[in-house]
Amino acid sequence: MTAPAPVIVLVRPQLGENIGKAARAMLNFGLTEMRLVAPRDGWPNPSAGPAASGADIVLEQARVYDSVADAVADCVEVYATTVRKRGVSKPVVTPDEAAREIHGAPTRAAILFGPERSGLETEDVAIARKILTVPINPEFGSLNLAQAVILVAYEWSKGVSLAQPTQEDLDPPAPQDELDGMIGQLEDMLHRNGFFYPEARIPTTKRTLRTLLTKPGWTRLELRTLRGVLSALDGKKRARIE
């Protein structure tokens, strides 16, 4: 049985832009269920949409609650993200440890994120089962809301199959005879221009040149382009000689 995706709970978020950026971070890694606890500027917030950059499904489905307890009432595992324990004695896990636990349980989990300015209050952390802490530079432990969400969402996404970004199909490498043709054309030009000198070193120089030119996996288009360049250069040289 596949474990359900965790719920992202933003506790008393302050700016609509940050809610939108958090939604964008969630959808990047396959999370869609956002819950808001007492957002400062109410909900819906007109500033959230533009900041979400297309993650509209997360914002449209977002649900608002009056308290943290209400927001996580249907969740079994609740993680409170904080850089400090805030006087509450609870197990502490990292994002990757939390992700493994969430994937390994059939029950619903929630991850709490506090207000941008102050983070979660002690009462919020007390509701959680565990504290989720990101290993961070002790000299500068400041993450914005979207950064914190994306770190946790990314670790969770490692346990699911997400499609890689679309890539253009690359042309296959050119066959050997076409590569030999290009090398031969270049060698002819170099012979005419006195590159191969002295005579005794010609085999070594050609071998070095071939090694250099066979390192890339040239495609047919690349070889045609390069041979066109060589032909143009050869034509200019011969025109000057004539």
The pLDDT, as a whole number, for residue 102 is 96
Domain boundaries, the chain: 7-157, 176-241
Q: Is the pLDDT at 219 greater than 50, yes or no?
A: yes
Q: Is the pLDDT at 101 greater than 50, yes or no?
A: yes
Per DSSP, the three-state class of 154 is helix
Q: CA-to-CA distance for 110 and 7, rounded, in angstroms? A: 5
Amino acid at 27: L
- Give the tens place of pLDDT for each residue, 170-206: 678 888 999 899 899 999 988 888 888 888 888 998 8
Q: CA-to-CA distance for 87 and 22, rounded, in angstroms? A: 27
The pLDDT, as a whole number, for residue 241 is 39
- Give the tens place of pLDDT for each residue, 63-95: 999 999 999 999 999 999 987 655 678 899 999
Across 94-236, the runs of DSSP E, i.e. the strands, are: 109-113, 130-132
CATH class of the domain whose range is 176-241: mainly alpha
Whole-number mean pLDDT of the chain?
88
Same fold across 7-157 and 176-241: no
Token digits for 166? 């679309």
Residues in a beta bridge with 10? 36, 113
How much is the average pLDDT of 44-58? Answer: 96
Question: Which is higher by pLDDT, 237 or 235?
Answer: 235
Of the pLDDT bands very low, low, confident and very high (cuts 50, 70, 90), residue 239 is very low
CATH class of the domain whose range is 7-157: alpha beta
The pLDDT, as a whole number, for residue 84 is 62
Contact 28, 150 (CB under 8 A): yes
- Give the tens place of pLDDT for each residue, 19-46: 999 999 999 999 999 999 999 999 999 9
- Give the tens place of pLDDT for each residue, 137-182: 878 877 899 999 999 999 999 988 765 555 556 678 888 999 899 8
Residue 81, judged by CB atoms within 10 A of its CB (0-12, 13-18, 19+), counts as: buried
Per DSSP, the three-state class of 131 is strand
Of the pLDDT bands very low, low, confident and very high (cuts 50, 70, 90), residue 209 is confident
pTM: 0.70
Contact 32, 135 (CB under 8 A): no
The pLDDT, as a whole number, for residue 6 is 97
The pLDDT, as a whole number, for residue 48 is 97
How much is the average pLDDT of 98-110? Answer: 95
How much is the average pLDDT of 215-233? Answer: 84
How much is the average pLDDT of 118-145? Answer: 89
